[in-house]
Structures are given as structure tokens and as C-alpha cells.
Structure 1
Amino acid sequence: MLKSTLLVIAAALAVLLVYAATKPDTFRVERSLRIHASPERLHAMINDLHSFNTWNPYERKDPALKGSYGQTTVGAGARYGWESHEVGTGSLAILETVPASKVTMALDFVKPFEAHNQAEFTLQPEQDGTRVTWAMHGPVPYLAKVMHVFINVDRMVGTDFEAGLANLKTLAEKAVTEKAT
């Protein structure tokens, strides 16, 4: 009986590991939202890491988060690092910025799992506002593929991106309303 149970467990584990190996080698999570503010205004709120962290959903998840800024906090070369029991440990750096159009960041996570990803914010003018798209992509090593069998990364990270974009919308539209009055 024990031998049969162990064989079933070993077979199930083998199927799981083979299935995980068929998962994609890269991932991409993307969300977008239309915001009633100019691309210039929104770019400034993303391209300045102090401003970025006023709406960053991960910064809001842990009031005890310990963050530290680099010597540069705006534009290419700007850096920020964090340590948190809730959102892990890592750093981000702005790699590229195109005024009123795009900000690209390198995201390096140390804990709870090591990962090296890239985030992109693109700003597309639309009637009465701007479509802001927040995307993150990166490699998926084999161990992460096994985890992806059980965890829906798109839903997990996408929910955070949706919250962050909603925070950005609230702050940006409030600023536009205050300027108009």
C-alpha cells in the first residue's frame, strides 16, 4: 500500500515538473487606464521617484517599508531601494525616459525571490486625457515556472497595477481640478 502511494505521488510530481517545463520562458503583465490629465503631467508623476512613490501601490502596502533614494531621483539614472516584510526587498532604476511618452525601469528583486524584470510606462494622448499603460516583463526560470502552475502572476501583479493606476488617476485628476479652480 505504501509503495503504491509513493509511486502515485512520484508520478504526480513528475507530471507537474514536466508540465511546468512547458510554461513560457518569459512573462508579461500589462494594465492600462485612461486618465484625464496631460501626458506631460503624468510623465512627471512617473519620472520623479518621490512623486512615483505617492501613488505606487507597493509603497502603500507596508507602512513600515524602509526606502532609500539614490543621489538622482528624477529621470534616467534615478534609483530607489526598499526593504519590507510585506513586499520584499529590491531596487528600481529608471533606465530610459522619453518626455510625455515613456519611462522604462529596471526592477531587481532580492527577497522573497530573486528576479530581474523591466517595467514600462507608456503614455498615449487620447481625447480628454491620456491612456497610461503599466507593463512588466522578464524571464521565468524553471523554479518560477513551477510556481506559476499554482500562482496566477497576471492576476496577482495585475491587481496591484490596477490599484496603482487608480491611485495615479486620483492624484493627477485632483491636480488638474485644483488648477482649473
Structure 2
Amino acid sequence: MQVLKKIGLTLLSLVVVLLIVSFFLPSKVTVVRTAVLKAPTPLVFEQVNMLQNWEKWSPWHKIDPQMLLSYEGPDGGKDAKYNWFSIHPNVGNGSLTITESVPNQRIDTKMQFEGESDGLAYYLFEETPEGTKVTWTMEADMGSNPINKYFGLMMDGMLGPDFERGLENLRNVVEQPTAVAR
């Protein structure tokens, strides 16, 4: 009986320590990846600004090529929106809306994941002598829930590789000799 009591007290102590530590964890999470693409800025910008182009480069479209997509609003730019529906556990269901679009400079998006909090993503485009520098940033507020805050510590490791694949896919699209803005 003493052994069970010690195990119980140890587990309770561990839970209390994890709870106390969670109060000091950040609730805001940021994931950032950057790549320089050897292509003109207008071409790179249009690949991101026109949501139907995402099927060519988005890392999540490659995970589930069978996902269902629907589009709303304009073809691209502010208020363009697409919804995705997938049974793949790494994709799920959700929507993405372009909330701001500054030609050849910046695109802001809002992502809504079914059953999750919203995420904000930003794409910055900077012309450089080597091509176009693209910075893809995602921000999310994990709230005050201790479990969500611990989950937030893993976001960079989980989403960062997807961003890297997406930027590499985008590179493959825009660096083709036949690539043209749509």
C-alpha cells in the first residue's frame, strides 16, 4: 500500500509541476521559414496570391491529392478563399482566406482548422539580386490551456518541415523555364 501511495504522490507532484511550468510558457507560437527563389517577384507573388495555384506547390496538397477543394470569392487577392476537406489525419478540414494582398510585397492569410483555433500566415516577398526572397510566417495563439501551450512548443518542429517542403515545391514551380504568372 505504501508503494501505491508513493506512486500516487509522485504522479500528483509531476502534474502540479507541469501545471506550474505551463503558466510560464508562451501562448503565442510563431513558425518562420525563408527561401530565395531564382524567379521574378511578380511570378512568385502570383503563385501564392492565386489560390488555385496552391495545388501545384502546397505541401498539404501533396499529402492528400484526393482532398476536395472549393473556392469562394475572387480568384486571388483580398477575400479569395478556399475550403479543403480531407479524411487524411495530417490534413483534415478547414479554410484559408486571403485577408490582405499588397502586390509583389505581402500576402496575409487566415487559416481556420476544424476543431482548432485560427492561425494567421504571412508571405513576404523581397526582390534580391539572387531572385525573390520569400518569408513564410505562421502565428497562432495557443490560449491559456496548459496542454495547448505544451503543444505550442512542438509547432515549429511539426510545421517547419511542411513550410520547407512548400517553399521547395514553390521553387520547383517558379524556376521552370516555362513558368509564367497566371
How far apart, in 2, do the equivalents of 1:30 and 1:82 lie? 23
Residue aligning to 1:25? 27
Task: Tell me the SS of whatever aligns to 1:121.
Answer: strand
Asked if residue 134 in structure 1 is aligned to residue 148 in structure 2, the reply is no
Residue aligning to 1:106? 110
Residue aligning to 1:178? 178
Residue aligning to 2:77? 75
User: Aligned ranges for residues 28-177 of structure 1 at < 5 Å?
Assistant: 28-86=30-88, 87-111=91-115, 114-141=116-143, 142=145, 143-148=147-152, 152-174=154-176, 177=177
How far apart, in 2, do the equivalents of 1:21 and 1:66 lie? 40
**Structure 1 residue 4, shift from structure 2 partner:** 1.2
Unaligned runs of 5+ in 2: none
Residues 26 and 137 in structure 1, CA contact (< 8 A), matched pair in contact too = yes
Residues 17 and 146 in structure 1, CA contact (< 8 A), matched pair in contact too = no
How far apart, in 2, do the equivalents of 1:120 and 1:85 lie? 27
Runs of 4+ in 1 over 6 A off after TM superposition: none
**Structure 1 residue 18, shift from structure 2 partner:** 1.6
How many residue pairs get matched?
A: 173
Identity of aligned residues (%): 31
What TM-score do you get using the length of structure 1 for normalisation? 0.90
The 3 A distance-change label for structure 1 pair 57 and 48 is: same
**Structure 1 residue 14, shift from structure 2 partner:** 1.2
Root-mean-square deviation (CA, aligned residues, Å) is 1.4
Unaligned runs of 5+ in 1: none
How far apart, in 1, do the equivalents of 2:4 and 2:98 lie? 56
Task: Tell me the SS of whatever aligns to 2:5.
Answer: helix
How far apart, in 1, do the equivalents of 2:106 and 2:41 lie? 9
What TM-score do you get using the length of structure 2 for normalisation? 0.90
**Structure 1 residue 107, shift from structure 2 partner:** 0.7
Return the letter of the residue paired with 1:58.
W
Return the letter of the residue paired with 1:52.
W
Residues 57 and 169 in structure 2, CA contact (< 8 A), matched pair in contact too = yes
